[in-house]
Structure 1
Amino acid sequence: MNQIAALPMYNVSPALAADWHALLVDVLRNVDPRAAIVEPDDLHTFWRRPDLLLSQTCGYPYVLGLHEHVQLIATPRFDAPGCESANYSSVLVTRDDAQFDSIEACRGARAAFNSTDSNSGYNALRHAVAPHAKNGRFFGATLETGSHLGSLRAIAEDRADLAAIDCVTMAFARDAYPELTGRLREIGYTRSSPGLPLIASTHVAPEQIDALRDALDEAVTAQPERARRLKLKGFSRLPPEAYESIRQMENEARVANYARLA
């Protein structure tokens, strides 16, 4: 069975996509040169494939059931505001000319989010809002945009007022799209949690898991300029239980009678 791989989560710009592809090529060269790099259409199906050698997922789907189908390989450590070791948070973003200066001030505002299965864009924002919600509501309206960049554009174009943006994505967006991010303003951060995990199928052998971890470390040290462009400091090896903090954020919102972003 030929194995497959993809790193789909931080391709914020074409240049970044090329760098992530090059890093993946280097990793596969040292682990399985026959493995194919693919562009998945349906990530949830792709992450569950038995021939998956390496990919990256969001921590929210990981704790909501994906962990039963995959092995946790590593968690990246990024050099970006809002990151600490292998943890990251979401930046709360509004328009530069908006009146909002805190999450509390956003009552009745329009919230944008990338998707309901996103920890950074949905789960973390719901958790931040939950203490301020009344009868399960806080926002005047919500808008699903399909991506963090889509949420940033919705705010800049006055179709939404607030979004929670993965702080790594935000750092990449500042570099790649300064005209867009220059129209926006940060008003805070959400609670931090472990970053987006690298995963492999449960069918991948232990010796390949070890080889993947070694190859990821080597890909960072062997190409320091690429690592700098990717803001990648290295990889940590967290236990799966570390990601339970993401489920805890969901549970705390539910206890506060705020089960969905509204």
Structure 2
Amino acid sequence: MNWVAALPMYNVTPALAADWRALLAHVHTELADWLAAHGETLEIVDAGAALEPFWLRDDLLLSQTCGYPLVHALDGRVRVIATPDFAVDGCTNGTYRSVLVTGAHVDAPSLEACRGVRAAYNDDDSNSGMNLLRDAVAPLARGSRFFASVHKTGGHLASLRALAIEQSADVAAIDCVTFAFVREHLPELAAGVREIGVTKSTPGLPFIASNALPADAAALLADALDDAVSANPSLATRLKLKGFVRHPTADYASILEIERAAIGLGYPRLA
């Protein structure tokens, strides 16, 4: 097999994208003997814009997905390898949450005060930007429309730009890891928004592989990720990585429970 790998989820800046590729390069080195013994190769690639087809490739050795597609489109179709444990406020033992933010131009001290404003979210299959925001709004909406409008931006950075720069939206939920990277690397963007709360926590964005990957290689892969953090402390610090947690796939069912709770409150979609 000619395997491929890409980590597309937290490439907030080109420098961070290079650091994630460096993490993959270390994994590649650690798996070199296994690959050679099986006559196989690994190429670090660009995942491209269409992530779901990439995640479902039979030759996928390693990538990172969101928990929402993991329990929907990818359910039973990929192998969970490990979940990163970030040194970020809101992350504990491989969990994370979203930060609720408004544009600095918005006079709303809480999510409840955001009734009738314009919401932005990154994508329909996002846990952090859509599912957790829907969960936070559901008890406030009481089965009816809460926002004046809802706009899909295509990414967390685009949502932040809509709030902070374009002022074309007023409130959004941003993955706390993304927001931590933005505060460090794009402070001018972070300065244009205000934090007004946080969402529930769920297991973080898992590293995954194809179901075609043998079990012995999956175990080596998980060990290689651990080694990448311990062997290069400066890289781990730049990526805010404390290590990796072995969350069983069943832990991600909490994302489905959050979705079902919002639907049960009569709020099946952001509105």
- Shared topology, TM-score over 0.5? yes
| Matching of residue 149 in structure 1 with residue 138 in structure 2 | no
Measured after TM superposition, the shift of residue 95 of structure 1 is 1.8
1:113-170 CA distance string (max 9 Å, x none) = 0001000000000000000114431100011111100000000121111000000000
Name 2:38's counterpart in structure 1: none
Moved over 6 A (4+): none
CA distance in 2, matches of 1:117, 1:162: 18
| Matching of residue 170 in structure 1 with residue 179 in structure 2 | yes
1:4-50 CA distance string (max 9 Å, x none) = 11100000001100000001011012114620111123110111111
Identity of aligned residues (%): 56
Name 2:215's counterpart in structure 1: 206
CA distance in 1, matches of 2:161, 2:118: 13
Q: Which amino acid aligns with 2:88?
A: A
CA distance in 2, matches of 1:253, 1:135: 9
Name structure 1 gaps, 5 residues minimum.
Answer: none
Measured after TM superposition, the shift of residue 65 of structure 1 is 3.4
CA distance in 2, matches of 1:254, 1:67: 20
Name 1:110's counterpart in structure 2: 118
Q: So what's the TM-score if we normalise by structure 2?
A: 0.95
How many residues get paired? 262
CA distance in 2, matches of 1:222, 1:29: 12
CA distance in 1, matches of 2:75, 2:261: 21
CA distance in 2, matches of 1:85, 1:122: 23
Where do 1:130-141 residues align within 5 Å?
130-141=138-149
Name structure 2 gaps, 5 residues minimum.
Answer: 36-40
CA distance in 2, matches of 1:76, 1:232: 7
Measured after TM superposition, the shift of residue 72 of structure 1 is 0.7
CA distance in 1, matches of 2:246, 2:144: 37
Q: Which amino acid aligns with 1:230?
A: L
The question of whether the paired residues in 2 share the 8 Å contact of 1:136 and 1:259 is answered with no
RMSD, aligned CA: 1.0
Name 2:250's counterpart in structure 1: 241
Where do 1:51-70 residues align within 5 Å?
51-70=59-78
Q: So what's the TM-score if we normalise by structure 1?
A: 0.98
